[in-house]
Amino acid sequence: MLAIALKMLFRDRAKYAMLVCGLAFCSLLMCQQISVFCGIMMWTTSTVRNIGAPVWVVDAKVEQANEVIPMRQIEVERVRSVHGVAWAVPLYIGIEQARLNDGSFQNVQLTGLDTGTLTGRPMDMVAGRIEDLRLPNAVVVDQVAVEKFRRKGIAIKLGTTFEINDKEARVVGICHVARSFLGQPYIYTTFDRALEYAKPSRKQLSYVLAGPVPGVSNEELAARISKLPGLRAITKDNLFWTTIWWYIKNTGIPISFGTVVLLGIIVGIAIAGQTFYLFVHDNLRYLAALKAMGARMHTLAAMVLLQAFSVGFIGYGIGVGLASWFGNSVLAKEQPPFFMPWQVPAFVAIVLILICGFSALIGLIKVARLEPAVVFR
């Protein structure tokens, strides 16, 4: 019986193709849009992932990683005085303006690493050495800076110079790091030199990075540091998720992508439900004949379910495959952002199962009301 059901499905090529295309488009739309949304959320946490420190100490009013409230440099010593702190170093992050040789400007995200340890250094160096940051006026630029400067007609290479707030910066290295949410290039230098590049201010410390001694967990250390007045300590994982949830709650990004995903679900239900109903309707005479020959309802139900989930499985595979191909094609350029964790195809699979189940239910209602005598009319 099940083989007969598949023959009935594949014989009607027009409706079979329409079902597969509709479900493939639905799964492609959902998978692609959710993956782009996940990619954007990953961009919001690029600072946390690039630096990678176990514990981040910020001003008590800071809500997410991209919000910088300057602190006094004495906060580094206060953090070091907490029991269980193995090390604590300063970190400067700020948006500055770079002036290129042709006179044009480019906003950059200046990152000042601890001069002694270079904690938070970029690990993927494309050219040069990160240790050369200790040389005079030395900076390391990321791949975004190379791309943006190239569009302005300037080829960035080792030894290239430009100005940050009227002070010379010389490129000693090129790195590859996760892109920032705002799209500005990352420029790395030492903490002391970053303060020279930055505009004068009474408070210039952005973060304090800390690590626990053996036997003390990151969560326990963060709780101890948070007891200091005016400071808040967050573990790397907590800061990662806190930042993502902040953007979900306070921006329209989830609504924009969620609307498209919802439309994909509606289109899938409409196309699959209507087409499968017409498919069952056109094959009523065959189902009536089987019913007249003694086929029970559960057998006919199994045939209808097999037909519905067969096209669902094929459409799901095509849709997810196309979404993966799209992701691989844009990963090299990193635009648009694309990140597909295993939860995305799992969610799409669940939605497709529900759509196929709904479509099969529509057909089963028609089959259940079918009279075997219709075959003799």
Residue with tokens 């409230």: 69
pLDDT in the model for residue 234: 94
Q: Please give the distance of CA 58 from its chain centroid, rounded to a whole number.
A: 25
Which pLDDT value is given to residue 102?
Answer: 76
Tens of pLDDT along the chain (377 residues) come to 556 655 666 666 777 777 788 888 888 888 988 998 998 899 999 989 999 899 999 999 998 888 889 999 899 999 999 999 999 999 999 988 888 877 778 888 999 999 888 998 888 888 889 899 989 899 999 988 888 888 877 888 888 888 888 889 999 999 999 888 888 889 999 999 999 898 888 888 999 999 999 989 999 999 999 999 999 999 999 999 999 999 999 888 888 888 888 888 887 777 777 776 666 666 666 666 666 565 566 666 677 777 777 888 888 889 899 988 888 887 767 677 888 888 999 998 888 888 888 777 776 666 666 565 554 55
CB 231 within 8 A of CB 4: no
Neighbours of 44 (CB within 10 A): 23
**Distance (Å, whole) CA 322 – CA 333:** 18
Please give the pLDDT value at position 287.
61
Cis peptide before 90 (omega within 30 of 0): no
Q: What does the DSSP 8-state code read for residue 184?
A: P
Phi, psi (rounded to 5 degrees) for 168: -70, 140
- Assigned token pair, 321: 């495959």
Which pair of tokens denotes residue 268? 């899938």
Residues in contact with 126: Cβ distance below 8 Å, sequence separation at least 6, in sequence order: 143, 174, 175, 176
Residue 20 confidence (pLDDT): 81
Question: What was the pLDDT predicted at 189?
Answer: 93
pLDDT attached to residue 313: 85
Six-digit token pair at 285? Answer: 């005479």
Residue with tokens 């996760």, as numbered in its chain: 178
Q: What span, in angstroms and rounded, lies between the C-alpha atoms of 123 and 359? A: 51
Q: In sequence order, what DSSP letters do the residues of 265-318 get, joined into one string? A: HHHHHHHHHHHHHHHHHHTHHHHHHHHHTT--HHHHHHHHHHHHHHHHHHHHHH
Amino acid 187: pLDDT: 92
pLDDT score for 218: 92
DSSP track, 346-369: HHHHHHHHHHHHHHHHHHHHHHHT
What is the sign, positive or negative, of the torsion defined by CA atoms of 166, 167, 168, 169? negative
pLDDT score, position 259:
87
What are phi and psi for residue 158, nearest 5 degrees? Answer: -60, 130
Give CA separation, 73 vs 77, 191, 309, 375, in Å. Answer: 8, 11, 63, 88
Q: Hey, where are the domains in the chain?
A: 2-44+252-376, 61-229
Provide the 10 A C-beta neighbour count for residue 67.
12
Structure tokens at 72: 């006094």
The candidate with the shortest Cα–Cα distance to 6, out of 308, 232, 269, is 308
Return all residues near 254 (Cβ < 8 A) that are at least 6 apart: 37, 248
The whole-model pTM stands at 0.83
| Predicted local confidence at residue 377, as pLDDT | 55
DSSP 98: E
